[in-house]
Structure 1
Amino acid sequence: MTDTRLNGVIRAFEAGKPAFTCFAKVDKLTAQEMTDAPYDGVVFEMEHNPYDVSALGDALQYMLNRKTIAETGSVAPSVTPLARIPANGGEMNQFQAKQVLDRGVYGVITPHVATVEQAWNAVASCRYAKPTGAAYYEPKGIRGDGPATAARYWGLSQPDYYAKADVWPLVPHGEILVGMMCESPEAIDNLDDILANVPGIGLVLIGEGDLSQALGYPRQYEHPEVVSAMTKIVEVCKKHNVVVGNPHTNAKNVERLIGEGYRFLMSAPSRSYGVVGQGRELAGY
């Protein structure tokens, strides 16, 4: 089994660098364009866009670039595919996490996670079952066993896929990133307990849109109450050494966001490649 880090987003985090990503529609053309984009990762958006697992599988195949694999000698994707599933934390639809992972994504972002129970379920849904007493046992895995397509997409044997298809940073060699979206006052109130009691959360992505709605200031991202709520999220994440992400990164705010400690920075696809270059320069790489 290769020791090469396959997940480029995790690779950036481990190097102490921010990861630059974007949301993308689940379609073949976008997937093909993303393959040569300057991002560390791409999040296929399946919450507000149709939940189409078949289309996701096709998109992932279009992200494969045999020329790049031959030149680098590595099956690690040049841009790491993740997926945001439609189920909110309270819905606990584990099958959606299972299905997108079985297609081959390297991470799952769950919207509207607001309690310890919901966060625990989000992590457990991305883990295979282990024997009682095994290392890194909790959260107890509940992902169903069906690895053939994902192992083939990752370019690994099934035994090697099993070894790598666990959640980071709970399992240091794991390649799956579990992200929870924090986008309500309840979630903010519970975030400290969540991060203290749920191992395996690799990313907290702030849902600015829904959070601003819940606070009574729809999309007024500069309103003091919205800014204060986001600042609290960042502080709690820093306390627990968990990566915090911002979904609305642009040329005007990228310097501020990096300075404030955001390490998962999402910009608009294609037309915002310059933001990635600007952000990497500010981050020193």
Structure 2
Amino acid sequence: MTTRENLKLRIVNHECTIGSWITIGSTVVAEIMAQAGFDWLVIDMEHSAITLDIAQDMIRVIDLCGVPPLVRVGHNQPNIIKRVMDSGAHGVIVPMVNSKTEAQQAVASVKYPPEGFRGVGLARAQKYGQDFEGYRKWNQENSIVIVQVEHIDAVNNLEDILSVSGVDGFIVGPYDLSGSLGVPGQFENPDVQDALEHIQKVSAKKNAISGFHIIQPNIDELESKQMQGYKFLAFSLDIIFLGNHCREKIKSAKLT
């Protein structure tokens, strides 16, 4: 079984996978992260300066390292999603999916007809025109669509969102979710905790793959989220790993 099918199968089987986020537009950073042992990596095109041409180079490097490359697109927009998929992304993470209709649009943007409305192009994903049929079959069966639950509207509509065929799972965006409740960054606020509790209840009811982005690389928090039933876990991001390590080492150096 190739890496291209492996992640989809692990998601379908409700296995826990641990990935991370890349916001620095560098193939070097992408290669370092891809060699670190993560189950998948997300190239963030929402909150970074990464452009499509840079993203395609990063997708290629991650893919060639045997790690599934995903892209967090900047917007639930068919043309954006189509272009990152044509660049070779194995799937997308779509921000601010707050309704069933928006979830349907995200899926349809990834899938070709009749399941979706994605236009046909011949680019890296299709081996530059040499294997469209092979890619079409792979895409319909193995491409990944993860929606982000990061607004109270998404929380309230979560059952409908998770009923959409082709949504493989969801990932909670804790900062934006707390922001939508008027308490940005206050994760222990009762309203935020109530929202998270509701998410867990709906997820269990729908037997859905639930995900969470753990910003600080805290192993205890990672294990806590696993115990709570989260299966698709984003463990920190490149700039946090880099910044924390630099501060830790220079602090140690000044103490010697």
Residue identity in the other structure for 1:260: Q
2:31 counterpart of 1:32: yes
Q: Kindly indicate which of the two structures has a greater share of residues assigned to helix.
A: 2
2:207 counterpart of 1:241: yes
Count of equivalent residues: 236
Map 1:41-56 → 2, pairs under 5 A: 41-56=40-55
Report if aligned partners of 2:17, 2:232 keep a CA contact under 8 Å in 1. Answer: yes
Q: For each residue in 1:130-186, what CA deviation from the matched residue of structure 2 results, as whole angstroms up to 9, or x when unmatched? A: 3xxxxxxxxx41111014311339xx83221111112xxxxxxx2211011111111
Quote the Cα distance in structure 1 between the aligned partners of 2:235 and 2:223: 13
Report if aligned partners of 1:19, 1:40 keep a CA contact under 8 Å in 2. Answer: yes
Match of 1:212 in 2: 178
Quote the Cα distance in structure 2 between the aligned partners of 1:64 and 1:41: 10
Taking only aligned residues, the RMSD between alpha carbons, in angstroms, comes to 2.1
Q: For each residue in 1:79-130, what CA deviation from the matched residue of structure 2 results, as whole angstroms up to 9, or x when unmatched? A: 110000011x4xxx21000000000000111110111111110110001113
Distance 1:5 1:61, change over 3 A: closer
Consecutive unaligned residues of structure 2, counting only runs of 5 or more, are 243-256
The structural deviation recorded for 1:199 is: 0.7
Match of 1:78 in 2: 66
The structural deviation recorded for 1:10 is: 2.2
The structural deviation recorded for 1:34 is: 2.3
2:57 counterpart of 1:58: yes
Q: Secondary structure at the match of 1:253?
A: helix
2:153 counterpart of 1:186: yes
Quote the Cα distance in structure 1 between the aligned partners of 2:171 and 2:220: 20
Match of 1:143 in 2: 118
Quote the Cα distance in structure 2 between the aligned partners of 1:239 and 1:33: 38
Residue identity in the other structure for 1:161: Y
The structural deviation recorded for 1:44 is: 0.3
Quote the Cα distance in structure 1 between the aligned partners of 2:232 and 2:192: 19
Quote the Cα distance in structure 1 between the aligned partners of 2:116 and 2:154: 23
Match of 1:195 in 2: 162
2:16 counterpart of 1:18: yes
Map 1:67-216 → 2, pairs under 5 A: 78-87=66-75, 89=76, 93-130=77-114, 140-152=115-127, 157-166=131-140, 174-196=141-163, 198-216=164-182
Distance 1:21 1:7, change over 3 A: farther
Q: Secondary structure at the match of 2:157?
A: helix
Q: Secondary structure at the match of 1:267?
A: strand
Quote the Cα distance in structure 1 between the aligned partners of 2:146 and 2:161: 13
What is the TM-score with the length of structure 2 in the denominator?
0.85
